[in-house]
């Protein structure tokens, strides 16, 4: 059914026949999705509103388990095991697979403590190590010059775009394998958006990235692979250059031509 291009890279994640139904709904939101996610690449998920992009993204770090009653079946393979198993250690899993949300989610604490939070959770207590890694994360997130003189200030004093980069810094500080982005720039102005896109492209050197976006230009600009979803199904996954130029599926073509969605 779906057209899945072969992936030239190693796989960071491999979704197999995954179906998902939210609590209190009868209609499944994802139907038998199978999809490889390439390592140290950027994979973009596109598709019309309500097609299930967020739902799929949130299964990768098992966010759905925070709420009772959601049902799912299938497999997601990560480092050789199925992370949907009942024995999966969700706390460890989430330190390996980080997430950035649609809106900035700075915690109600100082800039420094926001970054140090995840590190402290991992048991790092030494001040010097914390200082080093906070600085490195803020540098990697290209926000160090803007904040290094006010690390003790509340994070809420930053602008929206700065807060979003702070959240990225917070996520990369704990050195995850995979980062999940759910429309990370949809609440930002064009300049902040550009800064974040550049940042994401730098990160892919060491981190595998999945990004949900409504903006097809953004997907085309930054991603290596693109998946097109429609009504809970993955319709097509291909290399970004080919998918936008010569889509294999009629639905994909209609969508990228702007005929719907």
Ligand X SMILES: Nc1ncnc2c1ncn2[C@@H]1O[C@H](COP(=O)(O)OP(=O)(O)OP(=O)(O)O)[C@@H](O)[C@H]1O
Q: Which residues bind another protein (CB under 8 A)?
A: 61, 63, 66, 68, 89, 91-92, 94-95, 98-99, 101-103, 105, 107-109, 117-118, 121-123, 167, 170-171, 174
When CB distances are held under 5 to 8 angstroms depending on the partner's kind, the choice from Mg ion, ligand X, another protein, none that residue 167 binds is another protein
- Comparison of 115 and 235: residue with beta carbon closer to ligand X: 235
Could you say which of 43, 54, 61, 70 contacts Mg ion (CB under 5 A)?
54
Q: Which of 7, 12, 51, 141 touches ligand X (CB under 6 A)?
A: 51
Find which of ligand X, another protein, Mg ion, none residue 215 binds, CB within 5 to 8 Å per kind. none
Task: Tell me whether residue 9 or residue 233 sits nearer to ligand X (CB atom).
Answer: 233
What span, in angstroms and rounded, lies between the C-alpha atoms of 165 and 186?
A: 14
DSSP assignment letter at 67: S
Burial class (CB in 10 A: 0-12, 13-18, 19+), 215: middle
CA 153/CA 260 separation, integer angstroms: 45
Rounded distance, CA 238 to CA 74, Å?
22
> Shortest approach of ligand X to residue 91 CB, angstroms?
22
Among 54, 163, 208, 252, binds ligand X (CB under 6 A): 54
Q: How far is the CB of 201 from another protein (least distance, A)?
A: 22
Which stretches does DSSP call E strand in 183-218?
208-212
Confirm if 7 and 38 have CB atoms less than 8 A apart: yes
Beta partners for residue 154, in sequence order: 110
What pairs with residue 98 in β-bridges? 179
Tell me how many helices (H) and strands (E) the chain has: 10, 11
- Decide if residue 22 touches ligand X (CB under 6 A): yes
The entry of another protein, ligand X, Mg ion, none near residue 55 (CB within 5 to 8 angstroms by kind) is ligand X
Range in contact with Mg ion (rule: CB under 5 A) among 51-59, 122-130, 202-210, 237-245: 51-59
Q: Tell me the CB-side half-sphere exposure of residue 163, using CA atoms within 13 A.
A: 21
Least CB distance to ligand X at residue 133 (A): 32
**Distance, C-alpha 257 to centroid of its chain:** 25
- Residues found near ligand X in the complex (CB under 6 A): 22, 25, 29, 47, 49-55, 214
């Amino acid at each position: 059914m779906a057209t899945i291009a072969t992936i030239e890279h190693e796989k960071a994640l491999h979704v197999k026949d995954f179906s998902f139904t939210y609590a209190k709904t009868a209609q499944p939101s994802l139907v038998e999705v199978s999809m490889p996610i390439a390592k140290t690449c950027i994979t973009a998920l596109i598709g019309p509103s309500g097609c299930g992009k967020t739902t799929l993204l949130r299964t990768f770090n098992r966010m759905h388990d925070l709420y009772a009653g959601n049902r799912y079946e299938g497999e997601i393979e990560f480092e050789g095991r199925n992370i949907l198993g009942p024995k999966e250690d969700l706390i460890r899993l989430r330190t390996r697979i980080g997430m950035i949300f649609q809106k900035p989610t700075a915690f109600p604490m100082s800039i420094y403590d926001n970054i140090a939070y995840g590190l402290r959770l991992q048991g790092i207590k030494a001040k010097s190590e914390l200082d080093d890694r906070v600085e490195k994360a803020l540098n990697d997130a290209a926000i160090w010059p803007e904040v290094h003189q006010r690390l003790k200030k509340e994070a809420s004093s930053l602008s929206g775009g700065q807060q979003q980069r702070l959240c990225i810094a917070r996520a990369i500080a704990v050195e995850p394998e995979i980062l999940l982005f759910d429309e990370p720039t949809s609440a930002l102005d064009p300049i902040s958006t550009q800064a974040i896109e550049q940042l994401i492209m730098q990160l892919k050197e060491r981190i595998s990235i999945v990004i949900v976006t409504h903006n097809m230009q953004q997907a085309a600009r930054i991603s290596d692979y693109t998946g097109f979803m429609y009504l809970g199904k993955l319709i097509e996954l291909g290399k970004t250059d080919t998918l936008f130029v010569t889509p294999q599926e009629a639905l994909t073509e209609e969508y990228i031509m702007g005929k719907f969605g």
